[in-house]
Amino acid sequence: KNEVEQSPQNLTAQEGEFITINCSYSVGISALHWLQQHPGGGIVSLFMLSSGKKKHGRLIATINIQEKHSSLHITASHPRDSAVYICAVRPIQGAQKLVFGQGTRLTINP
């Protein structure tokens, strides 16, 4: 079992829908990152969380440390949101590396 599991692996939705991507992890962490990867490989860091909730534009990230779970929400989704969304955790042990989930491929159709 991977230390970081994301669901769903693939998600297709219509423009305007509310999107939720989930991330569960099995190790103690000091922080959790949500990343966005577009075709061609470029990765953009969206959020880093250690507790609670963060919001940036139409993106909202939440984390529940006790339940070892985080969610990334996209409101009013748009085709330009189509990308792979990756959850990565910074374990308390080996705190300088990130452990990544497999990613969720999101496709927003017009």
Partner 1 sequence: DTGVSQNPRHKITKRGQNVTFRCDPISEHNRLYWYRQTLGQGPEFLTYFQNEAQLEKSRLLSDRFSAERPKGSFSTLEIQRTEQGDSAMYLCASSSWTDSYSGANVLTFGAGSRLTVL
**Which of 88, 4, 96 minimizes the C-alpha distance to 49?**
88
Residue number with CB closer to partner 1 (28 or 52): 52
Backbone angles phi and psi of 79, in degrees to 5: -55, -30
State the alpha helices, DSSP H only, in 1-110.
none
Q: Does 92 bind partner 1 (CB under 8 A)?
A: no
DSSP state of 98: -
Backbone angles phi and psi of 82, in degrees to 5: -60, 125
Q: Does 27 bind partner 1 (CB under 8 A)?
A: no
Binding string, 46-85, against partner 1, x = CB under 8 A? Answer: xxx-x-----------------------------------
Contact residues: partner 1, CB under 8 A: 4, 31, 33, 35, 40-48, 50, 86, 88, 94, 96-103
